[in-house]
Amino acid sequence: MNAETLIVLLYVLVLASFVGFELISKVPPTLHTPLMSGSNAISGITIVGAIVAAGPDTWSVSKGLGIAALLLATLNVVGGYVVTDRMLQMFKKKKK
Amino acid sequence: MEKDLLIRIAYLVASVLFIVGIKMLGKTSTARKGNTLSAVAMFIAIVVTLLDSQVLSLTEIFVTILVGSAIGTIAARRVEMTSMPEMVAIFNGFGGAASVLVAASEYWRMAHDAGMSMPVVVGVTIVISVIIGSVTLTGSLVAFGKLKGLINGRAIVFSGQHAINAILFLAVLALSVLVVIDPNMEIWMVGVLLIALLLGVLTVIPIGGADMPVVISLLNSYSGIAACATGFVLNNQVLIIAGALVGASGIILTQIMCKAMNRSLTNVLLGGFGQTGGAGAAAGGGEEIVVKEVGVEESAMLFESASSVIIVPGYGMAVAQAQHVVRELTDVLERNGTSVKFAIHPVAGRMPGHMNVLLAEANIPYDKLIEMDQINDEFANTDIALIIGANDVVNPAARTNPGSPIYGMPILNADKARTVIVSKRGMSAGYAGIENELFGYPNCLMLFGDAKSTMTKVVSELKEAIPA
């Protein structure tokens, strides 16, 4: 990675952070728990890195670490989304 | 190169869907769709990565994904809503661990297997990823242990704690520099990893149980930042964008929680807060509080003649599994023409918004749950404030007693209601270990006993008085 790529990635980071702050400061307290578990699932995006790390054809320490990462990241992603959906399903408005 | 372009476009689509998904998560009516959308984004990112890294022929990858999905789904379906904070804590930890493992794998591949020289920028990003991921991992595990009661929930403090943390922090920095300078010396990397893991434990251990909402939010943020750092390691924008969204979300929730408990964010980041519990009990001890008891029948009569009721639920209600009977109480009171609302303190429960989920599970419509700032003026015009399983969030000492450890914390003005009924097991102090002078107020009545059984009795009395 050269300096130019790094700068581009830093731009992405800064802009995405601003978007994040803007979007989330408006979330009502009712939704804070689902927001947290939902964003927790999103942080499992590391799974992308885990797939790459687990990718080589031949076994090595590096690949082993990748497979371990893949297992934990999958747990995080799938569990996070399922539990968030389960919670949001319960939120109901008053029936008239 | 066309394939490469398509893959980049797919990552872009995923990033956009993550952002839109988070946006939709911010509104009750669209939240569920938003979550699905963000899951779709994740699915796209995963499929594209599988295609891109040409691992479709590797069974071990699919087996791992299948096993992880199965365990994740089962855990997510079985978990009790009262245990949501533990669930989020442990998943945070897994996310952090995954980041460490990916960075370590990349390090090993470059420094060891290939014997390549590692560019400084890559070295720095790998080290950052390992440090943040490790702190997230062990910090989350300690938080999990505290919430589950596996380790002492009280703040664990010892002298020289800050000095030790500072020394360890400097040591980790020094080792990081060594890793970057000489990546082929694995021992430096192992040192960074071990110290960072230790730092995670040490920064969460001094935080008391009552402050867990802050810690969970902060670790949530860390897990996002860890994903971000991994994005830098792999030069992958979707990781950076998704990680930044989570990082921002966690920081905002942390700030909200801090404000609700009248603590500063710096105080949290430095660790070592929430020690007020022990000292508070001594400071609060003044004259004896004389309370008035009330029985089930009398409570039922009071409820029957009330025209407005505000219920203040706390975590104690959920522990007693009383939320369903509270819903029944709401139903029977509304049949009698009484207006019933719920006042939700921002730190009610063990994580941000936890109480809302617990009440939603009991089928209480979310538009009945009112935030502190919106409902606080209404207490003065309310006949009965029913406090059930809550304590510190209604303690007037936060307004009146500068010596109290919770002084300055915003509280619910339950004491201003015409009558206050407190459903409580006994006279024990709240989670923060502080006496509550509200219990001695002339308008306050104590309804002693297990919240679930006393409320069930009150409801059956009321059902007799108010026929369906």
Q: Which residues of A touch B33 (CB under 8 A)?
A: none
Q: Which residue of B105, B129, B350 is the best one to mutate when testing the A interface, meaning the one whose CB has the most A CBs within 10 A?
A: B105
**In angstroms, how far is the first alpha carbon of chain B from the final one?**
72
Q: Which residue of B23, B25, B59 is the best one to mutate when testing the A interface, meaning the one whose CB has the most A CBs within 10 A?
A: B25
* CATH number given to B285-465: 3.40.50.1220
Please state whether A37 falls in left (phi above 0), alpha (psi between -120 and 50) or beta.
alpha
ipTM for the whole complex: 0.95
B465 confidence band (pLDDT: 50, 70, 90): confident
- B48-83 tens-digit pLDDT: 999 888 777 788 999 999 999 999 999 999 999 989
Q: What is the DSSP string of B219-280?
A: HHHHHHHHHHHHHHHHT-HHHHHHHHHHHHHHHHHHHHHHHHTT--HHHHHT-----HHHHH
Digit-by-digit pLDDT tens for chain A (96 residues) are: 677 888 999 999 999 999 999 999 888 888 999 999 999 999 999 999 999 999 888 888 889 999 999 999 999 999 999 999 999 999 877 654
Does A68 sit within 8 Å of B253, measured CB to CB?
A: no
- A35-61 tens-digit pLDDT: 999 999 999 999 999 999 998 888 888
Q: How far is A18 from chain B (nearest CA, A)?
A: 8
CB contact A60 to B (< 8 Å): yes
Structure-block tokens of residue B291: 């309370």
Quote the radius of gyration of chain B (alpha carbons, Å).
26
pTM: 0.88
Does A44 sit within 8 Å of B35, measured CB to CB?
A: no
Q: Which region among A77-91, B45-59, B205-219, B353-367 has the lowest average model confidence (pLDDT)? A: B205-219
> Residue B407's pLDDT is what?
82
- B308-346 tens-digit pLDDT: 999 999 888 988 889 999 999 999 999 999 999 999 998
Burial of residue B1, with CB atoms counted within 10 A of its CB: 0-12 exposed, 13-18 middle, 19 or more buried = exposed
- What is the average pLDDT across B432-461? 88
Does B54 sit within 8 Å of A79, measured CB to CB?
A: no
Nearest CB to A21: which of B31, B75, B252? B252
Write down the domain spans for chain B. Answer: 1-78, 81-274, 285-465
Residue B295 corresponds to which amino acid?
G
Q: What is the DSSP string of B412-441?
A: --GGGSSEEEEEESSS---TT----GGGGS
| Residue B37 Cα distances to B93, B242, B370, angstroms | 24, 13, 28
CA dist B260 and B82 (Å) reads 21
Q: How far is B440 from chain A (nearest CA, A)?
A: 31
- What is the average pLDDT across B399-403? 85
> Residue B274's pLDDT is what?
45
> Residue B457's pLDDT is what?
94
CA dist B218 and B203 (Å) reads 12
> Residue B380's pLDDT is what?
94
Q: Which residues of B touch A48 (CB under 8 A)?
A: 45-46, 49, 234, 236, 238-239
Q: What is the DSSP string of A32-80?
A: HHHHHHHHHHHHTTHHHHHHHHT--SS--HHHHHHHHHHHHHHHHHHHH
Contact B50, A50 (CB under 8 A): no
Does A46 sit within 8 Å of B226, measured CB to CB?
A: yes
Write down the domain spans for chain A. Answer: 28-90
- What is the average pLDDT across B405-431? 85
